[in-house]
Structures are given as C-alpha cells and as structure tokens.
A = this chain, B = another copy of it.
Amino acid sequence: MLNEAVNLENSPGTGEGPERRVRDRGATERAILAAAKGLLAEEGFQNFGINAVARRASCDKQLIYRYYGGLDGLVEAIGADLGTWVKDRIPEDAGGMFLLTYGDLMERLSLLLLDALRSDPLMRRILAWEISENTEQVRRLSEARSKALALWLERMRGSLAPPKAVDAAAVNAVVIAAIQHLVLAAAAGGQCAGLSLKTPKDWEKAATALKRIVRGVYG
C-alpha cells in the first residue's frame, strides 16, 4: 500500500547521477569506521548510534550490520583501532630516556600524558563514556583503551624501576586520575574545582602543580 511514486526511473543518460557510489566493500568499511570514530570524537557518545553513523558515512545502516555485526562490532573495531594510538604517540628518538631518577621519568610522563589527552578528542570521549556507563559495549572499549595506555606507559618507562618506599602503582593511578579528570573537565566546562583551564597560561599553572605533586612524592 502507498506505493505511489516509488518506481521512478533514474535513466543513466539524463543529467548526472550525483556521486555514484562505487562498489568497493573495503572503502565502505573504512568509511564506516572513520565515520564512527569522527562522530564519537566530535559529538560524544550521547548521540552515537546506528542511524547517526550511517548518516555520517552516507551509507545505509544495513551495511553496518552486515560488515560489523551492528554497533557492538563497530565499537569493538574502534577499540582494535586504538592499538595504533600507542605507535602514533611514542617519540621514536626516545631522546629523553637518559633520565636518571624515577621522579624525572614520572614528571615527564605526566606532562606527556596531559598533552596527549588534551589533543585527542576521541580518547577523551571514550574516557567520559567509561565513566558514565557500564555496559558490555563500553567495558570492552574501556579495556582496549586501558591496555593501550598501559602499553604506552610501559614503552615510555623503559626499564627504570620504581622506588620501593612508596606504592608506585597506587600513586601513579592517582596522578593519572588527576590528569584524566583535568582534561575531561577542561574539555567539558573549561574549569575544574574553581581552576580555570582555558588559556595556555591556565594550563601552565596546572602543569606546574602537577609537577610539584609528582616531585613531592618521588623527589
């Protein structure tokens, strides 16, 4: 019923067939993944859904089901893609790696992580997602992100052992928590606990405080 005006002919001769979609599965898959990552990074997880991704990728949502098995699979693909994050963010020179003390190392790492997160909207959105939801979907993505972070830290740390006097794992977790929350709060509202986080000058202050904290613990 109501099938009027459905069978319009689109004869190939007249005018131009606007943007002919080429039959290239690989390209389509890549377009979908890119659309998903871009959408998540720019809009956040709130409006992240099958329809929105398909709209952004300019393809039918059916293809998402076919190629990725739905949103879950797509999210998983994003997680897998996060593995490349590490490679992109490791300075290959390893120039600063003649650092002497664990304090030197952690100070440097803290600032590097701060900058890395500040310049990575996708990572931020995933982080915010982790905190706001606890579905299986998010949990798997979270695991991939956590693993990427751990790998990054391990690569950067090298073979320098932490001091035995303090519980370095716990202290580092607290420091990382601070960094992550600062970045998230800044991206969302431009401030955290009364401290403005907008201008480079603001960030200078935050970085100084962070350094002081790390130095206070590790000397």
Closest to A147 in B: B194
Tell me whether A175 is interfacial, beta carbon within 8 Å.
Answer: yes
Closest to A146 in B: B194
Q: How far is the CB of A157 from chain B (nearest CB, A)?
A: 13
Let me know if B217 and A213 touch, CB within 8 A: yes
Query: Per a CB cutoff under 8 Å, which of B46, B174, B176, B205 touches A132?
Result: B46
CB within 8 Å of B: which A40-84 residues: 44-46
Tell me whether A185 is interfacial, beta carbon within 8 Å.
Answer: yes
By secondary structure, the A interface counts as helix
Q: Could you say which residues of chain B place their CB within 8 Å of the CB of A108? A: none
Let me know if A189 and B130 touch, CB within 8 A: yes
The interface size of chain A toward B, counting residues with CB under 8 Å, comes to: 48
Known: A139-B189, A176-B193, A194-B146. A171 touches B209 (CB 8 A): yes
Query: Per a CB cutoff under 8 Å, which of B170, B182, B188, B192 touches A205?
Result: B170
Q: Could you say which residues of chain B place their CB within 8 Å of the CB of A208? A: 167, 170
Chain A residues proximal to chain B, CB less than 8 Å? 44-46, 128-134, 139, 142, 146, 149-150, 166-167, 169-178, 180-182, 184-185, 188-189, 192-195, 205-206, 208-210, 212-213, 215-217
